[in-house]
Amino acid sequence: MKINPVKGTNDYLPEQTALRDRLQETILSVYRAAGYNRITTPILEDIENLDKSEGGENLNLIFKVMKRGEKLESALEKGDYKNLADMGLRYDLTLPLCRYYAANRAHLPTPFKCIQTDRVYRAERPQKGRLREFVQCDIDVLGDSGSDCEIELIATTAKALLKVGFEGFTVKVNDRRVLRAVLTVCGFEEEKFDSVCISLDKLDKIGAEGVKKELLEKGCNEDSAAKLLTLFEEQVTLKRALDFIGEECEAGVRLQGILENSLYLAKDRYNVVFDLTLIRGQGYYTGTVFEVALPGYPGAIAGGGRYDNLVGKFIGEQVPAVGFSIGFERIFGILQEQGMSVSLGGKKKLAIIYEGSFADAYEAAEGLREEYDCALYLKPKKVGKLLSNLEKSGFSGFAYAENIGEIRFFEQK
């Protein structure tokens, strides 16, 4: 039998689990203080719901759960290989949330502000930092189209990141409608928008000439490509983008308010910037998109956006929605790399060493358990070795069960 966890998943040692639990509790406490409530949804979802969810690339990364019994046999007999699975593991927490809201909205307040901290699954090719099982910490607001939602989500997510120990990060914000207006003004055909965005996203890496070359290869008009790239000759502030668009742009004005208020609430602890090239992969985003970048670490540590049409796919009625998700594994990985650790458990840990009756030792330990986490150890021949092991593994001290009042603390290093 194989002793390693399956590819792309991790076992977590006690110290790692303690750090993960502490990080989650910290994030949860910030979210709860902002008036959000935690909900839980199943990890398993109907396979059709997942397939039809406009999850972008993630749709290719779904772990499928096989049908069972007669239904499986029947599909195999018919050679109906497309229908061997009836469920899948969710690839994010947003799709299950929309289904949840559709099913339970009669019991939920409006607006509905909720927390999800839970596991999701993607059949990624395992590589450094790309896990197949990972935790996301999301907050979402459903049933409110106002831009105050975005301001609150950005401020609250940033507060959680500050509280776990990050600083100097940048919240990048965009609105897909502003980007679309820019592309329209350039004269790109609407069906090419997604493809243009993919090339534009590489501007930092391959430069203006590289992007232009790609756009032409994709059959874009040369004038459109040239016009788009003139915009990027200087830093693209929101004002510059709106001037470029020329006409009234409602989404731009809305975005301006989000940026100004978010920057005001940041109080120089983090930065909030407009980034016209920010798109986010998911097909379901309809307006605002945001992500958090940390200097020195490629990729985003948090991301999200507005997905006003996704609940509607379930109930045929539009429900505005917006959410922000912290990539828990990214922040756990970074903090662990930076040497962050926490003591196991919340309380100081004592070893109670006993010989003879376990029950008597247990009773003696019970008297200390309001104040300490007390682990019972049968007295070994070599007590010195036990004590040095205890000290190494985070115990604060020890006592002998027959003399429980006399706690001996290890010297602080």
Footprint on residues 66-95 left by a copy of itself (CB under 8 A): 66, 68, 76, 81, 84-85, 87, 89
* Only segment of 107-115, 201-209, 211-219, 223-231 that touches a copy of itself (CB under 8 A): 107-115
Q: Which of residues 202-241 bind a copy of itself (CB under 8 A)?
A: none
- φ/ψ of residue 111, rounded to 5: -70, 155
Asked if residue 299 binds a copy of itself (CB under 8 A), the reply is no
CB of 298 to a copy of itself, least distance (A): 26
Q: Which of residues 130, 202, 239, 369 is near a copy of itself by CB under 8 A?
A: 369
CB of 189 to a copy of itself, least distance (A): 30
Compute how many residues bind a copy of itself; rule: CB under 8 A.
92
> Quick count: other Cβ atoms within 10 Å of Cβ 137?
24
41 vs 140: CA distance, rounded Å: 14
Q: Which of residues 115-134 bind a copy of itself (CB under 8 A)?
A: 119, 121, 123, 132-133
Amino acid letter for position 74: S
Q: Which of residues 172, 212, 254, 349 is near a copy of itself by CB under 8 A?
A: 349
CA dihedral 364, 370, 375, 378 (to 10 degrees): 0
193 vs 183: CA distance, rounded Å: 7
CA 104: distance to chain centroid? 24
Instruction: Dig out the tokens for 182 from the structure.
Output: 């820019």
Amino acid letter for position 269: R
CB of 272 to a copy of itself, least distance (A): 12
Q: Which of residues 5-64 bind a copy of itself (CB under 8 A)?
A: 5-6, 9-14, 17-18, 20-21, 32-46, 48-49, 52, 63-64
Asked if residue 367 binds a copy of itself (CB under 8 A), the reply is no
End-to-end CA distance of the chain: 42
Asked if residue 355 binds a copy of itself (CB under 8 A), the reply is no
Q: Which of residues 148-207 bind a copy of itself (CB under 8 A)?
A: 148, 151-152, 155
Cβ distance 136 to 75 under 8 Å?
no
Asked if residue 345 binds a copy of itself (CB under 8 A), the reply is yes
Asked if residue 378 binds a copy of itself (CB under 8 A), the reply is yes
Cβ distance 39 to 116 under 8 Å?
yes
Instruction: Dig out the tokens for 113 from the structure.
Output: 């502000």
CB of 130 to a copy of itself, least distance (A): 15
Q: Which of residues 22, 59, 108, 283 is near a copy of itself by CB under 8 A?
A: 108
| Cis? peptide before 14, omega within 30° of 0 | no
Phi-psi region of 44 (alpha: psi -120 to 50; beta: other; left: phi over 0): beta
Q: Which of residues 27, 55, 91, 100 is near a copy of itself by CB under 8 A?
A: 100
